[in-house]
């Protein structure tokens, strides 16, 4: 059935929903109950976003080489997912679902399968010989776990391993603690030097993980009614995810009950709206940067690990990875009570074991909380629901039509022993380093109706709002500081003001650096262009391009020549997400008066050297250096451009410290991005939502809804959903 603007009745297993497209191509679903809406949502996801949902299901289950193709990259992905064993306790978690939530998940499953039964799989998957199996509740639960871990492993886990590498390459404790202020424990460099680090996934395999949402960065903010022109709170949210892909990670939906309407964005493969609003309540999310991964060091020999003076055998799990063609591959996983070992314990040595706080015993509560939002009526109710989430750690901001605003961090945090930062691996055989369970959710950062009348989260350090300190590697506060700065310029704000803030391109990071750079700039053409720059990352600005060149030269001069080596710094900037997540750690040193990283070199001398190096390049408009193409999940870069599966190239606005962020970098061999994948604004005086999306409503290339919102997204134009 082709979804049009006419009413279509879809039914099955005792459920009935009415679905149609509105003028923006967005599906509207009507039903008598939340379960009826979930049935319609499953049907719509299978109709409009089946490719994304089935790819995510196949990848997170570790069955890509069996169901898609026996390519080396897919075998590597399967090995990775089987090692993670994302949902080892599926049956137990399903039993922990609240009855109403289980009903919705089952209805979603029935709706997805009803479409598959009637219409089959999409042509892209048929080309691969993919045979769809019925969707199951556990597929949705596993996707929920994957969303919590993949971005976390990319950012937090990768930086913790890089800290190990820095120690092994002679970076002393003083320089490390300057770079990582939350690193408080004494570093046993001798022990860490013994660790055998396992190689990462093959770079080409990570390209497939773009099918699984990686929730890394974002902005959200809310202001109380006393500061809005409408007299009610204004809430804004713009999750920063990978935008150089099609279809978009999000699918917008309008879902109507007899007494309410739920509007916002969904993730194909799961019911509910992670970001959105009802008549009474609105909510938006950013990634929290809670540290949910700890590495411990295991001393191993003969397939066993040491505990005191005794040795215990690892549990051995042998995963059979079936191939579409060829003999199965066996992945042997060694694990203990802490997690999977990264190495072979039959070869004597010291290895890391990854402890993930959400490895088992959770995910049901996440869905109990998220799906409860459709009936929550107040900020307090919403905050209580988000405190239930364990596998996924986000910063939620909320607003209700009674005028209340709030903030709640979610997630399961290790209750570490005093003095353990979580940033460096500690010996597993020493029980004094064991975590004592998990921190109670009531101790996590939160706010309710703060006196300031404003709440802003942008991945910055928010530990001060809780009794626990869950963040040890925050992003810089530049974006949050800029939003707060703009929210102090007027006494009253409108929706139009919020749109302008969403697209603001001024960089407080650049402003801070230019105070040091301007007096040192030479009287040359490039020097004058940089001196006159207004710190805004507009497409026509040569100053922005030259600042970026000088800034990267500063990193090479200070950190490359100061101990890391230029090749390492170049690799961090060009081929990983680490610098893009944690650049503010480096800025803290660059902007300081003195540092061990300066190696007794005068700061002005370092800046002058970086200026000479950075200004030696030909100047160009910033936008010309910012070209990306939105690539199709399967066919990206493989088909002639005139077929239209890819979109672009386009210029991506902004940079790391601007509100839109707009980062472009390579991660494990592929180009990726951080940018606002979706923007929404809710005025609680109305029942409307203002939005735009990096993509379109449908994943069907020859649908007119394939990229129908791209011009809005690029041009700062918002749809109005009622």
- Mind giving me the DSSP string for 555-622? HIIIIIIIII-HHHHHHHHHH-SHHHHHHHHHHHHHTSS--GGGTT--HHHHHHHHHHHHTTSPP--G
Q: Is the pLDDT of residue 170 over 80?
A: yes
The mean per-residue pLDDT over the stretch 34-63 comes to: 97
Average pLDDT of span 678-706: 97
DSSP state of 340: B
What is the DSSP code string of 67-80? HT---HHHHHHHHH
Distance CA 271, CA 31 (A): 14
CA proximity to 277, closest of 679, 682, 677: 682
Residue 642 scores a pLDDT above 70: yes
- Asked if residue 120 lies in contact with residue 134, where contact means CB atoms within 8 angstroms, the answer is no
Label residue 208 by pLDDT band (50, 70, 90).
Answer: confident
Domain assignment present for residue 437? The answer is: no
Token output for 12: 């099955």
HSE-up of residue 681 (Cα within 13 Å, Cβ side): 23
Residue whose entry in the numeric block shows the structure tokens 């980062």:
663
Residues 205, 206, 207, CA angle at the centre, nearest 5°?
90
pTM of the model as a whole = 0.96
Q: Is 522 exposed, middle or buried (0-12, 13-18, 19+ CB in 10 A)?
A: middle
Nearest in space to 168 (alpha carbons), one of 668, 561, 568, 475: 568
Considering the domain boundaries, does residue 620 fall inside one? yes
Mean pLDDT of the chain: 95
Answer whether 622's CB lies under 8 Å from 544's CB.
Answer: yes
Burial track 561-587 (b if 16+ CB lie within 10 A, e otherwise): bbbbeeebbeebbebbbbbbbbbbbbb
Confidence band, pLDDT 50/70/90 cuts, at residue 668: low
Alpha helix ranges (H) inside 49-196:
50-60, 64-67, 72-84, 90-95, 99-119, 123-127, 137-152, 158-168, 173-179, 189-192
In a domain, 543, yes or no: yes
Q: What percent of the chain has pLDDT over 70?
A: 98
User: If pLDDT is split at 50, 70 and 90, which confidence band does 149 have?
Assistant: confident
Q: Give, in order, the Cα–Cα distances in Å from 377 to each of 283, 384, 387, 405.
A: 12, 12, 16, 13
Angstrom distance (rounded) from CA 79 to CA 65: 10
Q: Does a structural domain hold residue 614?
A: yes
User: What's the pLDDT score for residue 213?
Assistant: 73
- 581 inside domain: yes
The length of the chain, given as a count of residues: 722
Query: What stretch of H or E contains 511?
Result: helix 508-517
d(CA 323, CA 71) in angstroms, rounded, equals 9
pLDDT over threshold 70, residue 202: no
- pLDDT, one tens digit per residue, over 221-254 is 999 999 999 999 999 999 998 899 999 999 999 9
CATH number assigned to the domain comprising residue 591: 1.10.1400
Q: What is the pLDDT of residue 673?
A: 87
How many domains is the chain partitioned into structurally?
Answer: 1
CB atoms within 10 A of CB 199: 6
Would 148 be classed as within a structural domain? no
pLDDT of residue 669: 67
| 289-293 mean pLDDT | 96
Proportion of the chain in helix, strand, coil states, percent, rounded to 5: 35, 25, 40
Which residues lie closer than 8 Å to 449 by C-beta, 6 or more apart?
224, 404, 405, 406
Give dist(CA 26, CA 264) in Å, integer.
10
How confident is the model over 499-555, as pLDDT tens digits?
999 999 999 999 999 999 999 999 999 999 999 999 999 999 999 999 999 999 999
CB 245 within 8 A of CB 636: yes
Beta strands in 22-166 (DSSP E): 27-30
* Stretch among 262-276, 338-352, 589-603, 664-678 having the lowest mean pLDDT: 664-678
Whether a cis peptide bond, with omega within 30° of 0, leads into 247 is yes
What is the pLDDT at residue 182? 96
Residue 590 predicted with pLDDT over 80: yes
Structure tokens at 194: 């013994």
Across the chain, how many H-helices and E-strands are there? 23, 29
CA separation for the pair 57, 291 (Å, rounded): 26
- Three-state DSSP state, 545: helix
Are 397 and 386 spatial neighbours (Cβ–Cβ below 8 Å)? no
- What is the β-pairing status of strands 627-632 and 245-246? parallel
pLDDT tens string 87-121: 999 999 999 999 999 999 999 999 999 999 999 99
pLDDT, tens digit (0-9, with 9 covering 90-100), for 462-497: 999 999 999 999 999 999 999 999 999 999 999 999
369, part of any domain:
no
For 547, the domain range is: 508-624
Q: How do beta strands 341-342 and 329-335 pair?
A: unpaired
The rounded distance, in Å, linking the Cα atoms of 454 and 451 is: 8
d(CA 225, CA 236): 14
571 or 79, which is more confident?
79
Provide the pLDDT for residue 670. 74
What's the CA gap between 672 and 663, in Å, rounded? 8
Residue whose C-alpha is closest to residue 212's, from 394, 82, 54: 54
Judging by DSSP bridges, how do beta strands 234-241 and 670-676 pair with one another? antiparallel
pLDDT on residue 203:
60
- pLDDT average, residue stretch 438-456: 98
Q: Residue 206: its pLDDT value, please?
A: 64
Percent of the chain with pLDDT over 90: 90
In a domain, 576, yes or no: yes
What is the predicted pLDDT for the residue at 579? 86
């Amino acid at each position: 059935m082709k979804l049009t603007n006419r009413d279509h009745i879809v039914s099955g297993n005792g459920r009935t929903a009415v679905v149609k497209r509105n003028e923006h191509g967005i599906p509207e679903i009507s039903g008598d109950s939340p379960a009826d809406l979930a049935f319609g949502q499953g049907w719509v996801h299978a109709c409009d976003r089946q490719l994304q949902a089935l790819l995510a299901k196949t990848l997170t289950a570790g069955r890509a080489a069996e169901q898609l193709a026996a390519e080396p990259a897919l075998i590597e992905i399967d090995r990775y997912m089987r090692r993670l064993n994302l949902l080892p306790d599926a049956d137990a978690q399903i039993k922990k679902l609240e009855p109403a939530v289980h009903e919705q998940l089952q209805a979603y499953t029935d709706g997805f399968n009803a479409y598959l039964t009637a219409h089959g799989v999409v042509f892209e998957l048929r080309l691969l010989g993919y045979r769809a199996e019925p969707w199951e509740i556990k597929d949705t639960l596993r996707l929920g776990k994957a969303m919590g871990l993949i971005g976390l492993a990319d950012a937090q886990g990768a930086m913790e391993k890089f800290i190990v590498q820095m120690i092994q390459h002679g970076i002393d404790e003083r320089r490390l603690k300057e770079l990582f202020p939350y690193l408080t424990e004494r570093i046993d460099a001798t022990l860490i030097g013994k660790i055998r680090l396992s190689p990462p996934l093959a770079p080409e395999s990570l390209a497939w993980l773009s099918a699984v949402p990686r929730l890394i960065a974002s902005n959200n903010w809310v202001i109380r009614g006393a500061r809005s022109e409408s007299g009610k709170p204004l809430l804004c949210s713009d999750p920063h995810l990978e935008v150089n892909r099609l279809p978009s990670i999000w699918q917008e939906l309008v879902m109507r009950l007899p007494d309410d309407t739920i509007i916002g964005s969904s993730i194909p493969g799961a019911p509910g709206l992670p970001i959105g609003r009802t008549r009474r309540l609105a909510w938006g999310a950013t990634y929290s940067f809670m540290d949910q991964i700890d590495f411990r060091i295991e001393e191993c020999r003969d397939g066993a690990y040491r505990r005191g003076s005794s040795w215990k055998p690892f549990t051995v799990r042998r995963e059979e990875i079936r191939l579409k063609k060829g003999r199965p591959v066996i992945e042997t996983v060694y694990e203990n009570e802490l997690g999977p070992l990264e190495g072979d314990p039959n070869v004597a040595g010291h290895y890391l074991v990854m402890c993930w706080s959400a490895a088992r015993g959770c995910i049901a509560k996440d869905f109990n909380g998220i799906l409860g939002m459709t009936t929550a009526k107040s900020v307090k109710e919403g905050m209580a629901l988000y405190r239930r989430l364990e596998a996924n750690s986000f910063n939620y901001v909320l607003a209700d039509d009674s005028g209340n605003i709030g903030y709640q961090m979610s997630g399961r945090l290790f209750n570490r022993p005093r003095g353990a930062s979580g940033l460096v691996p500690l010996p597993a055989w020493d029980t004094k380093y064991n975590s004592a369970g998990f921190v109670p959710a009531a101790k996590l950062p939160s706010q309710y109706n703060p006196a300031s009348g404003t709440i802003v989260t942008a991945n910055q350090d928010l530990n001060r709002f809780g009794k626990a300190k869950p963040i040890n590697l925050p992003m810089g506060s530049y974006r949050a500081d800029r939003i707060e700065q703009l929210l102090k310029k007027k006494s009253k704000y409108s929706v139009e003001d919020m749109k302008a803030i969403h697209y603001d391109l001024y960089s407080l990071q650049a402003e801070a650096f230019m105070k040091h750079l301007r007096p040192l700039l030479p009287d040359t053409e490039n020097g004058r262009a940089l001196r006159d720059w207004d710190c805004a990352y507009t497409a026509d600005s040569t100053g922005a391009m030259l600042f970026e060149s000088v800034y990267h030269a500063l990193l090479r001069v200070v950190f490359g020549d100061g101990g890391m080596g230029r090749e390492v710094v170049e690799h961090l900037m060009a081929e990983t997400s680490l610098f893009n997540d944690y650049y503010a750690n480096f800025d803290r040193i660059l902007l300081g008066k003195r540092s061990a990283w300066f190696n007794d070199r005068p700061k002005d001398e370092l800046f002058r050297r970086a200026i000479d190096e950075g200004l030696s390049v030909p100047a160009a408009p910033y936008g010309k250096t910012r070209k990306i193409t939105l690539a199709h999940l399967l066919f990206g870069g493989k088909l002639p451009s005139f077929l239209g599966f890819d979109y672009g190239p386009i210029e991506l606005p902004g940079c790391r410290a601007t509100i839109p962020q707009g980062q472009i970098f390579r991660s494990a061999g592929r180009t990726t991005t951080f940018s606002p994948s979706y923007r929404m604004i809710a005025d609680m005086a109305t029942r409307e939502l203002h939005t735009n999306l990096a993509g379109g409503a449908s994943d069907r290339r020859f649908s007119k809804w394939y990229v129908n919102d791209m011009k809005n997204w690029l041009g700062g134009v918002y749809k109005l959903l009622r």
